[in-house]
C-alpha cells in the first residue's frame, strides 16, 4: 500500500467538506448527500443567489452549510473560500475540486478566449484549490478529490478542449500526489473519473454545434452515482475511481486497442452528442464566460436512459470485490476486441 492509502480519514459525519461548483450537478448532489450524512459543507459557486437558497435548504433540514461566492479561476476568490471555511468551521477535512466548464463544437472553430477560459477554470481552478486545501490540511491531514472525466484518458470528439483540460488535470493530480507522499504530507489525492453524468452541463456549456443543445454520449449515469463515489473517497483514500463502467472501459480500450476506440469515438460517440438537436441554443457563454442564469438543479434532463447505479463503481470501492472487478473488465474487453478484429482496426 502507498503512504496515502494508509492515511486514516475521519468519518463523514465528523468532516468539514469544501465543494466547488456546488450549485448544480455533481457538486450539488455531493453537497446534499454529505449534509444528510452529517458533514458540514462549504458550498462554492459564482451564482451566489441560488447558492444561498441551497444553503438555507440544507440548514433548514438540520444540516450545516455555508455558501461562499467563488470564481475558481480567481486565485484570490479561492483563497477567500478557504479562509471562510476555516473561519466558520475551524478546519477543512476534504476539498472537492468539482467546478468545470465545457465547449461543444469542432476544436478549430472554438474562439481562443473560450479555449483559454476552459483551462483557467478546469485546470488553474483546481491548482488554486489544491494549494489552499494543502495549506489548511498540511498538519491535520485530509483528502483532496479532483473531478476528472472519462476524457482524462481519451479525448472525446466535439469536446476536445474539455478533454485536454481533463488530461492536464490527471497529470497534475499524479504529480502532486507523488510530491506529497515524498514530503510525508498527510493529504490523500484522488482522481474521480465520471463517465457521462446527467447534469446541466449541456445547458451551461459554450455550444458551437450547428443546432440545439448537445446531448451526452451513452451510457449516462445519475449524479448520485458520482456523489456516492466522491464521499466514499472522503472516508477511505483511493488513487483513482471510475464512475460508471464505461469510464474504466474507455481507459482500458485506449491502451489495448486505440484504433478501434478511434472508430467508436468518430462514429457513435460523435453521433450521440449531436442527435436530437432541434431547439436553437442561444446561451452561448452561460456557465463558462459568466455564471449560469439559474442553477439549483442536480439533473440535466437527459432524454435517454440514465443509470442510477454502477456495478463497476460499487465493486471498485470495496477491496474484497477486486477479483470480480478484474474478471468483469476482462469479459468486456474480450467482447469488444472480438468486434474490433472484425473491423480490422486493432
CATH number of the structural domain spanning residue 275: 3.40.50.720
Q: What is the number of domains present in the chain?
A: 1
Distance CA 80, CA 74 (A): 10
Q: Residue range 298-325: average pLDDT?
A: 79
Chain-wide mean pLDDT for the chain? 87
Share of the chain above pLDDT 90, in %: 60
Distance CA 288, CA 190 (A): 25
pLDDT, tens digit, 9 for 90 and up, residues 329-343: 565 555 555 544 544
pLDDT in the model for residue 217? 81
Contacts of 241 (CB under 8 A, 6+ apart): 190, 191, 192, 193, 229, 232, 233, 313, 316, 317
Q: Per-residue pLDDT for 314 more than 80? A: yes
Q: Please say if 334 is a catalytic residue.
A: no
C-alpha cell at 240: 483513482
Q: Per-residue pLDDT for 263 more than 50? A: yes
Q: Per-residue pLDDT for 284 more than 80? A: no
Average the pLDDT over each of 71-75, 255-259, 308-312, 323-327 and give the range with the smallest value.
Answer: 323-327
pLDDT, tens digit, 9 for 90 and up, residues 156-212: 888 999 999 999 999 999 999 999 999 999 999 999 999 999 999 888 888 888 776
pLDDT band at 286 (very low <50, low <70, confident <90, very high): low
Q: Per-residue pLDDT for 312 more than 90? A: no
Cβ atoms 187, 135 nearer than 8 A: no
Domain range enclosing 179: 4-343
Share of the chain above pLDDT 70, in %: 85
pLDDT in the model for residue 218? 82
Higher pLDDT, 293 or 95: 95
Instruction: Pick the catalytic residue from 162, 172, 221, 242.
Output: 162
Which CB contacts under 8 angstroms, 24+ apart, belong to 336-345?
336/249, 336/253, 336/257, 336/260, 337/256, 337/257, 337/260, 339/260, 340/257, 340/259, 340/260, 340/263, 343/260, 343/263, 345/257, 345/259, 345/260, 345/262, 345/263
Closest Cα to residue 137, out of 16, 35, 39, 38?
16
Amino acid at each position: 500500500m502507498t503512504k496515502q492509502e494508509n492515511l486514516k480519514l475521519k468519518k463523514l459525519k465528523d468532516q468539514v467538506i469544501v465543494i466547488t461548483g456546488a450549485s448544480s450537478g455533481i457538486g450539488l448532489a455531493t453537497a446534499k448527500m454529505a449534509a444528510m450524512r452529517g458533514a458540514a459543507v462549504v458550498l462554492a459557486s459564482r451564482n451566489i443567489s441560488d447558492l444561498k437558497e441551497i444553503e438555507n435548504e440544507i440548514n433548514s433540514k438540520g444540516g450545516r452549510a455555508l455558501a461562499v461566492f467563488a470564481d475558481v479561476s480567481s486565485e484570490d476568490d479561492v483563497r477567500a473560500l478557504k479562509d471562510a471555511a476555516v473561519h466558520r468551521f475551524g478546519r477543512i477535512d476534504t476539498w472537492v475540486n468539482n467546478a468545470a466548464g465545457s465547449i461543444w463544437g469542432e476544436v478549430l472553430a472554438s474562439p481562443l478566449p473560450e479555449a483559454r477560459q476552459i483551462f483557467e477554470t478546469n485546470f488553474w481552478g483546481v491548482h488554486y484549490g489544491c494549494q489552499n486545501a494543502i495549506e489548511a490540511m498540511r498538519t491535520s491531514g485530509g483528502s483532496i478529490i479532483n473531478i476528472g472525466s472519462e476524457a482524462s484518458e481519451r479525448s472525446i470528439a466535439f469536446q476536445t478542449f474539455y478533454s485536454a483540460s481533463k488530461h492536464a488535470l490527471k497529470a497534475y493530480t499524479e504529480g502532486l500526489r507523488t510530491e506529497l507522499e515524498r514530503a510525508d504530507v498527510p493529504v490523500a489525492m484522488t482522481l474521480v473519473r465520471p463517465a457521462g453524468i446527467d447534469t446541466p452541463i449541456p445547458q451551461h456549456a459554450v455550444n458551437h454545434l450547428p443546432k440545439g443543445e448537445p446531448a451526452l454520449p451513452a451510457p449516462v449515469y445519475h449524479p448520485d452515482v458520482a456523489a456516492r463515489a466522491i464521499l466514499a473517497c472522503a472516508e477511505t483514500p483511493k488513487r483513482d475511481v471510475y464512475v460508471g463502467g464505461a469510464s474504466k472501459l474507455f481507459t482500458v480500450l485506449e491502451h489495448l486497442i486505440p484504433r478501434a476506440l478511434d472508430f467508436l469515438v468518430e462514429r457513435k460517440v460523435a453521433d450521440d452528442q449531436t442527435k436530437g438537436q432541434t431547439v436553437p441554443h442561444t446561451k452561448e457563454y452561460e456557465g463558462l464566460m459568466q455564471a449560469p442564469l439559474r442553477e439549483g438543479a442536480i439533473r440535466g434532463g437527459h432524454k435517454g436512459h440514465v443509470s442510477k447505479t454502477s456495478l463497476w463503481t460499487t465493486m471498485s470501492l470495496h477491496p474484497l470485490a477486486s477479483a470480480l472487478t478484474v474478471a468483469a473488465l476482462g469479459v468486456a474487453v474480450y467482447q469488444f476486441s472480438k468486434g474490433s478484429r472484425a473491423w480490422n482496426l486493432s
